[in-house]
């Protein structure tokens, strides 16, 4: 093979060697076992960061470097321990190359499957700045959700002893009434989930009445923000986001059964539209920055609450239509999702799910 044909293996090897060299130079410990563990982790991190920086493949890079050290279709136990470091390194490489060295180079893959050309572009600098901003925004929303949920639970269920059945029914009735009153003024809180998500994803350009679970107009006559009319500015989107936020928190604190995945994605989309509208004067109309920010805010919001960064991105990717330019949007959404998770860990140790040790 000619020396100039730099394959995946060459890049992985080079990055791994750099990681090991850095560990030996800057990490000193008398324990040989600990030193070997650090070298191993930085080897994976160096390989993942190098491969991502060269190829612009933020998820495939870490997976390739970790999977290749197993002889089976899986991940070796010692490699799995380096997953977090590998992901952190891959995004650091992505920020350094696409956000610093070549900030004006458009994001996306090389190959076109079909005759239609891509619609809209986004540069590396735009992607990095948008993703990091949405990651922080989603982390703040998630932390506020945890704090609000804890507060509501302490108010609704103050005693550690189990309340009587009549008291439980009475409290749940009041919670349901509060959510019902909120839905009178903001019908968007009655979104069912994936069936209604398109309405909020595109900023209500798809009327709520046109979705599978749309409601009749008689139930929207007191709406502060008409769910059948596109957002005209960031304020209506913000109002809907706040209403949905408190509706989810009330329902969760009231111990009503049901999922939170798509409601939280819907909530993130509303906040994403509000954030995008605030920066609309800086976003070119031909750019994909706006959809990237909405999708990133959706991922960041759910991730900061459930701590599921990769699963969240896969849900958004696999539920997207064939018209969505995933090769352009996914790198930024992945970055926002993981960054939100890391920032959330520093803001709060709480998670929506409880685990026993």
Do 131 and 40 reside in the same domain of the chain? no
Interatomic CA distance for residues 335 and 133, integer angstroms: 10
Helix (H, G, I), strand (E, B) or coil at 121: strand
Residue 347 C-beta-side C-alpha neighbours within 13 Å: 22
Q: Which domain, by its residues, includes 260?
A: 124-347
pLDDT digit string, tens, across residues 297-348: 999 998 998 888 888 888 888 788 877 888 889 999 999 999 998 999 898 8
Do 96 and 141 reside in the same domain of the chain? no
Do 215 and 246 reside in the same domain of the chain? yes
Residue 114 lies in a domain: no
Q: Which residue, of 101, 116, 133, is where some domain finishes?
A: 101
Residue 198: the pLDDT is 86
Q: How confident is the model at residue 113 (pLDDT cuts 50, 70, 90)?
A: low
Do 82 and 151 reside in the same domain of the chain? no
pLDDT digit string, tens, across residues 199-213: 888 899 888 888 877
If phi over 0 gives left and psi between -120 and 50 gives alpha, with beta otherwise, what is residue 276? alpha
Do 276 and 340 reside in the same domain of the chain? yes
Do 166 and 51 reside in the same domain of the chain? no
Residue 247: the pLDDT is 93
Residue 118 lies in a domain: no
The single residue listed with the structure tokens 């060299």 is 21
Residue 12 lies in a domain: yes
Interatomic CA distance for residues 332 and 107, integer angstroms: 9
Residue 113 lies in a domain: no
Q: Which of 214, 221, 180, 218 is nearest to 198 (CA)?
A: 214
Do 95 and 155 reside in the same domain of the chain? no
Residue 258 lies in a domain: yes
Q: Which residue, of 70, 101, 132, is where some domain finishes?
A: 101
CB 280 within 8 A of CB 289: no
Q: What is the pTM of this model?
A: 0.79
Q: Which of 224, 246, 245 is nearest to 236 (CA)?
A: 224
Q: Which of 98, 118, 114, 23 is nearest to 327 (CA)?
A: 118
Q: Which CATH number does the domain housing residue 238 bear? A: 1.10.3080.10
* Cross-strand pairs, 123: 106
Q: List, as one string, the DSSP characters of 49-81.
A: HHHHHHH--TTHHHHHHHHTT-SSSS--HHHHT
Helices assigned H by DSSP within 220-318: 234-253, 261-278, 289-306, 309-318
Report how many domains make up the chain.
2
If phi over 0 gives left and psi between -120 and 50 gives alpha, with beta otherwise, what is residue 119? beta
CB 273 within 8 A of CB 294: yes
If phi over 0 gives left and psi between -120 and 50 gives alpha, with beta otherwise, what is residue 108? left
Q: Which residue has the higher pLDDT, 93 or 141?
A: 141
Residue 357 lies in a domain: no
Do 238 and 329 reside in the same domain of the chain? yes
Interatomic CA distance for residues 14 and 275, integer angstroms: 40
Residue 37 lies in a domain: yes
Q: At what angle do helices 326-347 and 289-306 cross, to 10 degrees?
A: 40
Residue 353 lies in a domain: no
Q: Which residue, of 42, 69, 101, is where some domain finishes?
A: 101
At 106, give phi and psi (nearest 5°): -65, 145
pLDDT digit string, tens, across residues 169-227: 999 999 999 999 999 999 988 876 677 888 888 899 888 888 877 777 788 889 999 99
pLDDT digit string, tens, across residues 63-80: 878 877 776 667 777 788
Interior/surface letters 291-323, b for 16+ CB within 10 angstroms, e for the rest: bbbbbbbbbbbbbbbbbbbbebbebbbeeeeee
Do 81 and 129 reside in the same domain of the chain? no
Do 138 and 268 reside in the same domain of the chain? yes
Do 82 and 166 reside in the same domain of the chain? no
Do 222 and 93 reside in the same domain of the chain? no
Question: Token pair of 290, please?
Answer: 């706006």
């Amino acid at each position: 093979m000619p020396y100039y044909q730099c394959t995946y293996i060459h890049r992985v090897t080079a990055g791994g060697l750099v990681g090991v060299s850095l560990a030996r130079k800057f990490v000193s410990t008398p324990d040989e076992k600990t030193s070997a563990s650090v070298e191993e982790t930085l080897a994976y991190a160096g390989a993942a960061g190098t491969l991502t920086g060269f190829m612009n493949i933020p998820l495939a890079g870490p997976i390739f470097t970790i999977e290749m050290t197993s002889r089976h279709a899986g991940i070796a136990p010692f490699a799995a321990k380096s997953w977090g470091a590998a992901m952190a390194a891959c995004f650091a490489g992505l920020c350094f190359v696409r956000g610093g060295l070549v900030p004006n180079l458009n994001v996306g893959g090389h190959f076109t499957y079909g005759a239609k050309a891509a619609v809209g572009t986004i540069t590396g600098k735009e992607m990095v700045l948008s993703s990091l901003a949405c990651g922080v925004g989603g982390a703040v929303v998630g932390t506020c959700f945890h704090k609000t949920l804890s507060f509501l639970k302490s108010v609704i269920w103050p005693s550690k002893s189990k309340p009587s059945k009549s008291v439980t029914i009475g409290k749940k009735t009041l919670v349901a009434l509060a959510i019902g009153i909120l839905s009178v003024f903001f019908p968007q809180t009655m979104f069912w989930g994936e069936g209604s998500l398109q309405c909020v994803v595109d900023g209500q350009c798809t009327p709520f009445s046109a979705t599978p679970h749309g409601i009749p107009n008689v139930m929207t006559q007191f709406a502060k923000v008409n769910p059948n009319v596109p957002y005209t500015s960031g304020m209506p989107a913000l109002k809907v986001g706040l209403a949905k936020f408190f509706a989810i928190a009330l329902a969760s604190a009231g111990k009503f059964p049901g999922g939170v995945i798509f409601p939280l994605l819907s909530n993130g989309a509303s906040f994403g539209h509000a954030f995008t509208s605030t920066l609309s004067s800086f976003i070119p109309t031909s750019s994909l920055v706006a959809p990237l920010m909405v999708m990133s805010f959706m991922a960041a919001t759910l991730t900061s609450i459930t701590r599921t960064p990769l699963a969240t991105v896969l849900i958004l990717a696999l539920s997207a239509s064939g018209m969505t330019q995933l090769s352009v949007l996914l790198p930024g959404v992945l970055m926002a999702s993981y960054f939100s998770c890391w920032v959330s860990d520093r803001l709060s140790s709480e998670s929506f799910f409880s685990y026993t040790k």
